[in-house]
Structure 1
């Protein structure tokens, strides 16, 4: 069976690789049609197309919120589906956003009714953008409708978290819709009680980009309260356009800042996380997100979280003892609860976080879920 995966963003690389490897392991011929433009670096991928990996030359853009970016996405979708027409897949696996892929995939399905169409909703545009209620403005209605009208032709709709199914429940009515969580590689890492976790200070980690969807008011508020209980060290692993603004705010409260910069090496991150008590998983309340890649990275390394992400992540925190849910109204209360935990209790949370990763977000869990969604016989949709 021939399967074609269409994907625009290098930021989804880990998920795409897992999907590709899964289908190949089942004996399918698998092709990836991918943009040659890297979203984060705003530069081109220095690779050539291969027999099964087809790079589409894509218009560059420099600003994430711009007409240039929308035009780039639409042009990519148009050119990508010219390649899909050449390949003639039995299963078309369309990764969304950009929403223009949903439109082109839906159009393709109408012309090729025997092709099974799978939508993998990794993000929701414009719902996840932190600009209030913009969905009623004409440009955003058109943008959203690319996705929403395309849904009607999908044979299977996969969402990366349960929250997205709640947001789109009217559109998804009577559709075969399933959740497939983000995943990361399995690593040999056990949490040890003798890992020298300090008792006289708080070490709090932040991993990832510090940008316009991060709550730059809540993070300093949390660190301020913790610092009034014990000296608090804030470990930053990452970068972003709002990084200096966040650091300036935190410095007002005499919190010690340790800026590690960008760290990609597993062992380096492990060394930092091993001495931290919690990782911050904080975004603006207006952002429509049920799960973050940073939280999965924390869990992979056995780090509990201080969390304000709704839906899926809130549920995991409440039911698996992997940290604390927090909001702007309960910072003092949660900080006090954090201060009352002894080292053994924190170590237990660390082990619980690792166990949660293994159960829901590991490669093994991902492959098991793919087996539930697709028949082991030649990638057929169940």
Structure 2
């Protein structure tokens, strides 16, 4: 197949679409990616991609075409400019693509308007568009300054429904998404499929080792943004500061990182270390260090629907998972019997669960084994890629017979 992937975020940014595209290329497909300029999460265009550098690249057999982009910065205004810029400039760039593709795969994070360049190619070439929804719109904007019932929300509701309606098939990362699409957006499963296609983890996470150093090391790896609620981890570290055998490790970056670091300084904590952002191929050292993984998110309708991508990485690594999180993630932790989970925002309960896990090494080993078993049963990479190829082919065949 000749596959066009449209994603605002792509290599060298650290998103799972990188691995998906590389694996599709390994399987013999011709893969082209239309994307923007890398700037996530810092908000500044990466070195080597400014002044029209690297607008066309070949990486691991994938042809990358980049449109111009303004960095997302740190403010709501610059976020908005960044989002609109890719939607408009990407659509213009799409008009210059003359290659005949078989199918388009849109990797839709936020905002939903990042799908517009894919719609442009779909309309021009009359080929199927498979939309992979990782962030539900417009409900995702309620994690920020907008709420339901506002004019802004109504505007984005219409924009979102119109965009999703342009897809031939929609894949969802969480089973809970189906209810939202059916009831809130009035988009039926019968018409759009709404197939559950969960994320998988990169292979690097399956070879982690068990760290034995006399310290119980707990790791949070991922974005440090408003929804992630890493602040609750800092508060838990403060509760446990007298337990010298427990140490917290925070790997990642985001708009709330500075606030979290300042909280730790103000509390005089020496049991927590911040490492900043690292590439996927650099993460093994931190996963090896960990005795348990932490996952936290704010209590929010949007967040509760989702299963953060780090869950699959944690589960494949095969260690205990300790959460302060509600919804889909809590359900998976309980179903897999792979850790402990308290309510979102409950630092005291999080501290209690970390302490409980640290006091039972055998229990920790068993729950880690359960995590890996659950991963292979539900998120196996090769099975999911086989399924994705099948979906692409089904849509290509359906388009050919005019259905």
Q: Taking structure 1 as the reference length, what is the TM-score of the superposition? A: 0.81
Report matched runs for 1:138-177 at 5 Å.
Answer: 138-170=151-183, 171=185, 172-173=187-188, 174=190, 175-177=192-194
| Secondary structure at 1:123 match in 2 | coil
Q: Contact 2:14/2:280 (CA < 8 Å) preserved in 1?
A: no
Q: Please state if 1:185 is matched with 2:202.
A: yes
Give the drift of 1:148. Answer: 1.5
Q: What's the counterpart of residue 214 of structure 1?
A: 228
Q: Deviations over 1:60-99 (max 9, x none)?
A: 4434522422331232332233134x23433122222432
Q: Which residue of 2 aligns with 1:3?
A: 3
Return the alpha-carbon distance in structure 2 between the equivalents of residues 17 and 270 of structure 1.
18
Mapped contact 1:126–1:135 kept (Cα < 8 A): no
Q: Report SS of the residue matched to 1:168.
A: helix
> Aligned pair in 2 of structure 1 residues 169, 227: CA closer, same or farther (>3 Å)?
farther
1:345 CA displacement: 0.8
Contact 2:338 2:371 in 1 (8 A): yes
Question: What does residue range 342-381 of structure 1 map to in structure 2 within 5 Å?
Answer: 342-375=360-393
In the alignment, structure 1 segments of 5+ residues that lack a partner are: none
Residue in structure 1 matched with residue 128 of structure 2 by the alignment: 116
Per the alignment, do residues 20 and 256 of structure 1 end up closer, same or farther by CA in structure 2, a change over 3 Å counting? closer
**Distance in 2 of aligned mates of 1:262 and 1:378:** 38
Aligned residues: CA RMSD: 3.5
**Distance (whole Å) between structure 1 residues aligned to residue 248 and residue 151 of structure 2:** 42
Deviation track 1:222-259 (CA, whole Å, cap 9, x = no partner) reads: 33444566753211223334234223434537561233
Q: Give the secondary-structure state (helix, strand or coil) at the position aligned to 2:272.
A: strand
Residue from 322, 331, 348 that aligns with 1:315: 331
* Counterparts in 2 of 1:13 and 1:157: CA distance versus 1, 3 Å: farther
Answer with 234-243 or 214-223: which moved more: 214-223
Q: Which moved more, 1:130-139 or 1:178-187?
A: 130-139
Residue of structure 2 equivalent to 1:260: 275
> Would you say 1:127 and 2:139 are equivalent positions?
yes
TM-score normalized by the length of structure 2: 0.77
Where does 1:1-382 land on structure 2 (aligned, <5 Å)?
A: 1-10=1-10, 14-24=15-25, 27-41=28-42, 42-44=44-46, 45=49, 46-50=53-57, 52-63=63-74, 65-66=76-77, 67-84=80-97, 86-96=98-108, 97-103=110-116, 105-106=118-119, 109=122, 114-129=126-141, 130-131=143-144, 134-170=147-183, 171=185, 172-173=187-188, 174=190, 175-187=192-204, 189=206, 195-196=211-212, 198=214, 202-215=216-229, 217-227=231-241, 231-250=245-264, 252=267, 254=269, 256-264=271-279, 266=281, 269-286=283-300, 288-289=302-303, 290-327=306-343, 332=348, 335-336=351-352, 338-341=354-357, 342-375=360-393
Tell me, yes or no, if the aligned pair for 1:208 and 1:238 is still in contact at 8 Å. yes
SS in 2 for 1:58: coil
Segments of 5+ residues of structure 2 without an aligned counterpart are none
- What count of residue pairs does the alignment treat as equivalent? 375
Residue-by-residue CA offset, 1:46-72 (whole Å, 9 max, x unaligned) = 424158332222344434522422331
> How far is the alpha carbon of 1:344 from its aligned partner?
0.8
Q: Distance in 2 between matches of 1:238 and 1:14?
A: 13
